[in-house]
Structure 1
Amino acid sequence: MILQRRILVLGAVAALLAGGVATATSAQAAAGCRVTYAVPSQWQGGFTANVAVTNLGDPVNGWNLTWAFGAGQRVTQAWNATVTAAGSQVTAANASYNPAIATGATVSFGFNGSWTGSNPAPAAFTLNGVACTGTASTPQPAGPAETVAAMQPGWNLGNTLDAIPDETAWGNPLTTQALLHHVRSQGFNSIRLPITWSNHHGAAPAYTIDAAWLARVRQIVDWSLAEGFYVMINLHHDSWQWLNAYPPDTARYGALWTQISSTFRDYSPKLVFESINEPQFAGTSGDDQNYQVLDQLNTQFVHLVRASGGGNATRLLVLPTLYTNADQGRLDALNATFDHLDDPNLAATVHFYGYWPFSVNIAGGTTYDTAVEQDLTGTFDRVRDSFTARGIPVIIGEWALLNWDHNRPGLIERGEFLKFLEAVGYHARTRGLTTMLWDAGQFLDRTTLTWRDQGVYDIMRASWTTRSGTAARDQIYLPRTGTITAKTLTINPNGTTLQGVRQGSTDLVAGTDYTASGTTLTLTASALTRMAGNRAYGVNATLTARFSAGAPWPISIITSDPPTQAAATGTTASLVVPTQFQGDQLQTMEAVYADGTPAGPATWTPYKAFWDNFIPGYTDNTITLTSTFFAEVNDGPVTLTFHYWSGATTIYKLTKSGSTVTGAPA
């Protein structure tokens, strides 16, 4: 075998030029690289390759070299780099000990591979995501509109560098290169790094940032840039920890941004600065004075960063509205700031968490209805008309629903959330708005690097480029006993065409299992009977309606009976109501006094806040009424109406006397 390998050595060398390096530590005053790919040894079905990367531009800290094999070759073993492949596309990432490539320096790695038929050298390489030319170059920075467009879509490393007092204090693990690489692989082009600095600097007047903290921030910025992300950093919870007092602490604000600007002065233009997160002020006389204070801070920020020179002279700077809110008065006030700054490299940012009753499930806001849709389109129309129509790009720096969280199941019904996600993607895309998902751990499990709900990610990702069909519901309820009849479901194709319905990997038969006419999908009695099986409580089958584009729409076939409840005694600390859900799921709860007026918190509505006031327990068959609910309930009788997603309701009568509470079904 050794003799055969020596005889078949080709000694082929392909010198290939690569350039346009995206560096992690410079403003790209010069960029470029050269790649030498050599095959010193080849034998039947296998070969050894050596790769040398020479940096012709500014220093690189963290690198990814990518190429495509043209004849089906595969890497089987690598050294001095971590090599991964997706089809013909190959990525070699630096090892822990060789992330830096100084100007003029070379880093090398090698691998063994397999081949069949032929083994041509790759035709081209890219370093850190930029294609190759082989000479040093001076790239022209993109304009703000082009930069913001290239940032779409974005992702927030939430509750991490912004956590108080440190990175892991709010439950997330330490940030790793593997995490950032995974997020990038999922299609995100930018990453927002919310950073709270207040626990990591010294006293006045210097307010010196702790060296270890600044090094950690810089490390994550470097890693992110090396992955090819656009990166946005800011002052985050500083906004309410100390900057909200009137008059604001402009000395500390200036000292922090002076140090941050100096640290990142010569970084790539793909690094973006955001002046402050969700600015808010206490002690002012009202909005007019709030606008004046925010204008002062944003102006101080822009002038300070620009004066630091280097890449900061033209770096994209992002300015928020008051509260990062999109009410028209907030937008107009920020526009006045843009007008007097007259800086060509600025962008606006607002946040979007949807129509508040729906976002937190209060006041009966349980569905993605007309009010939710109008709030969404109205918000996006206002920011488009106020900013993008004037040539000022917009970043929706955070978006989600406030109370969507894997730790609070059922608070936002999944299908209604899917409709919201689909609509946000579409309406933002058609208005030219860049969106950055707020993810504090509720979407991506950062330990396993998997999506907590793959379907949520799938419909969100589809919305970046197309529309997905949806339906009025994602649940069809069947009775536990008796004859099963056909069920209809209103579909909303969103410009697509229904292609079929599938259970697992099996297509249902049109005409036999279902019919589709216009926007009505009908599942036949025979198909539902078959799918219900033994009709055990809960989900008996999961279908997907498949459309001509986008993500499929899920439909759960659920068997249930009307829920039942039993008497209970407790205190205002909590009352646990025994509840046999019998396959059903809780939608919301009403609470009223004997005269019909709303009981409990939020006295303007009888519908109470899901999870804050009542919490379903599906595994132990309970509904817990919380101390938050009873804190605002008067002594005497209260009538509760529990609403379930099947359409069923249960009535429950409470009597509160001091700290004692009793209850029983009506």
Structure 2
Amino acid sequence: MGAVATLVAGLGIATATSANAAAGCRVTYANGGQWPGGFTANVTVTNLGDRIDGWRLGWTFASGQAVSQAWNATVTASGTQVTAANVGHNAVLATNGSASFGFNGTWTGSNPAPAAFTLNGVACTGSVGQPSQSPSAPGPGPSASSSPSTPPTTPPPAGDAMAAVAAMQPGWNLGNSLDATGADETSWGNPRITEALLDGIKAQGFKSIRIPVTWGQHQAGAPDYTIDAAYLARVKEVVGWALDDGFYVMVNIHHDSWQWINTMPADRTNVLARYNATWTQLAAAFRDSPAKLVLESVNEPQFTGSSGDAQNATLLNELNTSFRTIVRNSGGGNVTRLLVLPTLHTSADQARLDELTATFTAMNDPNLIATVHYYGYWPFSVNIAGGYRFDATAQKDLTDMFDRISTTFVARGIPVIIGEYGLLGFDRHTGTIEQGEKLKFFELFGAQARANNITTMLWDNGQHFGRTSLQWSDPELIAQIRSSWTTRSGTAASDLVFSARSAAITSKTMTLNLNGTTFTGLRQGSTELVRGTDYTISGDQLTLSAALLTRLSGSRAYGVNATLHVHFSTGVPWRLNLITHDTPVLSAATGTTSAFTIPTTFRGDQLATMEATYADGSNAGPQNWTPFKEFDYTFAPDYTGNVITLKPEFFADVTDGSRVTLKFHFWSGAVVTYYVTKSGTTVTGTLA
């Protein structure tokens, strides 16, 4: 796990290399995303010369950029000169060995990449130069000793499953590729996996990759269930690329869980025979792979038509036990290979954890890992039932989950990987959950993972890290996730500060969530705002003055007028958007159940949720246990097109001939009432 950098002017880190060692290096510097006043950079340094024990990479920021937070390196600066020094786990650079680190920075005017780099004082030219003496550090500090005979401490020694799992943090999922259930890995819309993609993920600071694989459509029939040789070769190729990059790699049986394994209650003999045949082939294929290859028995196991929890537990225990037996008996590296066993549905409910604990006890194998998945408190994760805020209920769901897996597994010496995490709403649109609420979820998730020594693997089906662009679709989100790997960040009750244009501007007070940090300042870009004039701070209460809001609102055009950043003693800054708004205006409309939109002048506001009820007060539309409908699934705003769409899924569960009262809740606090009447396939919308 990397270390967070604190920028201290003039502090140098001394390192040493062997005297008269051949020296040379190559550096890849990539802008991982940029936004007004901020950016993310990813740096990979490759040692082309003799082995280095302790490294220091130097460069100059020509346009006044500054590093605010880093991971996998300790970054210091003196004026425009910047130094990134190794942390404990990546101190050794063998010949042709690489280390990657990243950082968040600030910029004004322009943000060019550094023109040149030095590694331990030697210019990185992409080739090996003359042998050199050990350079001295540019400032005071202890020297890292040179000890060529001592191997790096990572990966941890064989048999230390807890240490190995710790070394896997953080992890990333290569989702919707080899797990696609179509003809090949592109059938779900992603391009073919490339070495460049894996290199790109490595440069982001990830240490492990979970490669989900669906095998069923690439298998022959009974009794051998032979896996297609070309497909198995392709999986091995991708696994090999990842291992060559230095990743820990997890391979599993993925969507087979609901395609054919789930029929086990009614077809136990055939399902078990196919499952065993599949793992027998995979165990043979990977028996001689490096120890960094980890095998997972099955993804999200589930059973259709079972008699209940007891039978489910019995069947899953049978699969997990058979998996372990087959792999261990296949010999080679599989005798001690790390194996991952899931709970039923990879649920973190206590009963499911207890069931898996019984399996671990019976196996008495020190090289086993438990896994669960976590996508948050469901109403928040999909934005339904009024769960559009990361409120106390959603927070408790998260912390309780970590408490359970820590107490049940980690406290007993069983390592845990959360093999998938994220928010379910991301599968349709990453805007399903409002940005600030989303960031608070990931900040707390990362903090809990660190506190409980849990390794996590971000689920990414292409919506986060572009498979061809190799860029993050949401730089602010990944900056928060990265920061959470090493430290806490402060947040706030919201990232939206509304001022109605129809009224005079007044001061605005919000609650900061300090999360163990301290408030250090408020900035607009690189400009430090004045405490006592522009704002006041009292404990966790930040008040923006009316004078500041008036100045920054300018002509008070609807929408975001200015962006501020709250800075804390650690972690990433918290963005505040200053927004001018008025209550949105909806217009009458006519359409059909398959195509109905409400003309909407949003006037700077943003839609949070929608209620739907009949005249008698009962709930209308799908999921009628709640009046608050599911965002994106039943309704969705289009701010560019100036409409709110009511989707066919909503009208499919609306009683014909009835009038439905809709209440649109906006983030400013405004609530607008609207009526829709369904008559056959015709829909009429009217104002309240």
TM-score bracket for this pair, using the shorter chain length = 0.7 to 0.9
Asked if 1:508 is matched to 2:535, the reply is no
**Corresponding residue of 2:119:** 88
Q: 1:150 aligns with which of 162, 167, 173?
A: 167
1:391 Cα deviation from its structure 2 partner: 1.1
Cα deviations by residue, 1:269-321 (Å, 9 ceiling, x for unpaired): 11100000000011211111011110000000000000001110000100000
Number of aligned residue pairs: give it.
574
Could you tell me which amino acid in structure 2 is paired with residue 257 of structure 1? W
Asked if 1:232 is matched to 2:253, the reply is no
**Corresponding residue of 2:487:** 466
Could you tell me which amino acid in structure 1 is paired with residue 97 of structure 2? L
Which consecutive aligned stretches of 4+ in structure 1 deviate over 3 angstroms post-superposition? 12-16, 34-37, 84-87, 118-123, 131-140
CA contact (8 A) 2:159 2:366 kept: no
CA contact (8 A) 2:674 2:686 kept: yes
Could you tell me which amino acid in structure 1 is paired with residue 296 of structure 2? E
Q: 2:675 aligns with which of 649, 653, 656?
A: 653
1:658 Cα deviation from its structure 2 partner: 2.1
Q: Distance in 2 between matches of 1:530 and 1:454?
A: 28
**Corresponding residue of 1:621:** 642
**Corresponding residue of 1:588:** 609
CA contact (8 A) 1:66 1:89 kept: no
Asked if 1:497 is matched to 2:518, the reply is yes
**Corresponding residue of 2:63:** none
Q: Distance in 2 between matches of 1:140 and 1:551?
A: 34
Q: 1:347 aligns with which of 350, 369, 380?
A: 369
1:574 Cα deviation from its structure 2 partner: 3.0
TM-score for both structures, normalised by structure 2:
0.79
**Corresponding residue of 1:574:** 595
**Corresponding residue of 1:304:** 326
SS of match in other structure, 2:424: coil
Q: Distance in 1 between matches of 2:345 and 2:97?
A: 41
- Structure 1: tracts of 5 or more residues without a match: 1-11, 17-33, 38-61, 69-83, 92-108, 124-130
TM alignment of 1:551-562, pairs within 5 A: 551-562=572-583
TM alignment of 1:199-238, pairs within 5 A: 199-238=217-256
CA contact (8 A) 1:67 1:90 kept: no
Asked if 1:376 is matched to 2:411, the reply is no
Asked if 1:541 is matched to 2:562, the reply is yes
Asked if 1:432 is matched to 2:453, the reply is yes
**Corresponding residue of 1:111:** 127
Could you tell me which amino acid in structure 2 is paired with residue 158 of structure 1? G
Asked if 1:182 is matched to 2:182, the reply is no
Identity between Structure 1 and Structure 2 (%) = 57
Q: Distance in 1 between matches of 2:99 and 2:357?
A: 45
Once the two structures are overlaid, the 10-residue window that deviates more, 176-185 or 186-195, is 176-185
Q: Distance in 1 between matches of 2:409 and 2:555?
A: 58
Change in Cα spacing, 1:136 to 1:501, as seen in structure 2 (3 Å) is closer
TM alignment of 1:21-100, pairs within 5 A: 64-66=96-98, 88=119
Change in Cα spacing, 1:651 to 1:186, as seen in structure 2 (3 Å) is same
Asked if 1:390 is matched to 2:390, the reply is no
Q: Distance in 1 between matches of 2:287 and 2:161?
A: 18
Once the two structures are overlaid, the 10-residue window that deviates more, 439-448 or 590-599, is 439-448
Q: 2:631 aligns with which of 601, 610, 618?
A: 610
1:142 Cα deviation from its structure 2 partner: 4.2
Could you tell me which amino acid in structure 2 is paired with residue 507 of structure 1? E
Q: Distance in 2 between matches of 1:135 and 1:388?
A: 28
**Corresponding residue of 1:638:** 660
SS of match in other structure, 2:649: helix
Change in Cα spacing, 1:35 to 1:469, as seen in structure 2 (3 Å) is closer
Cα deviations by residue, 1:98-157 (Å, 9 ceiling, x for unpaired): xxxxxxxxxxx98266x9xx954799xxxxxxx954999999414111111111111111
SS of match in other structure, 1:589: strand
- Structure 2: tracts of 5 or more residues without a match: 1-18, 24-47, 52-93, 101-114, 137-146
Asked if 1:665 is matched to 2:675, the reply is no
Q: Is the radius of gyration larger for structure 1 or structure 2?
A: 1
1:561 Cα deviation from its structure 2 partner: 1.1
1:458 Cα deviation from its structure 2 partner: 1.0
Cα deviations by residue, 1:21-76 (Å, 9 ceiling, x for unpaired): xxxxxxxxxxxxx9769xxxxxxxxxxxxxxxxxxxxxxxx9952489xxxxxxxx
Q: Distance in 2 between matches of 1:468 and 1:36?
A: 39
Asked if 1:564 is matched to 2:585, the reply is yes
Change in Cα spacing, 1:156 to 1:201, as seen in structure 2 (3 Å) is same
RMSD, aligned CA: 2.9
Q: Distance in 2 between matches of 1:305 and 1:122?
A: 50
**Corresponding residue of 2:471:** 450
